[in-house]
Structure 1
Amino acid sequence: MPKFFVLVTAAALTLSACGNTDLERAGTGALGGAAIGEVAFDEPVAGAAVGAIGGALADDVGLAN
Structure 2
Amino acid sequence: MTWKLAGALLVGASVALAGCTAAGAVAGGVAGHELTDGSAAGTIGGAVVGGVIGHELGD
| TM value normalised by structure 2 | 0.63
- TM-score if structure 1 supplies the norm length? 0.58
Higher RCO (C-alpha 8 Å, min separation 6): 2
Any gaps of 5 or more consecutive residues in structure 2?
none
1 or 2, which has the higher helix percentage? 2
Aligned length: 48
* Residue identity opposite 2:30 in structure 1: A
Give the secondary structure class of the aligned counterpart of 1:48: helix
Partner of 2:35: 40
Give the ranges of 4+ consecutive aligned residues of structure 1 lying more than 4 Å apart after TM superposition. none
Q: Percent identity?
A: 23
Q: Is the 8 A contact 1:16 1:26 kept in 2?
A: no
Partner of 1:63: none
3-state SS, counterpart of residue 18 of structure 2 = coil
Could you tell me how far 1:17 is from its partner in structure 2?
3.0
**Which structure 1 residue ranges, 5 or more long, are not aligned?**
20-24, 61-65
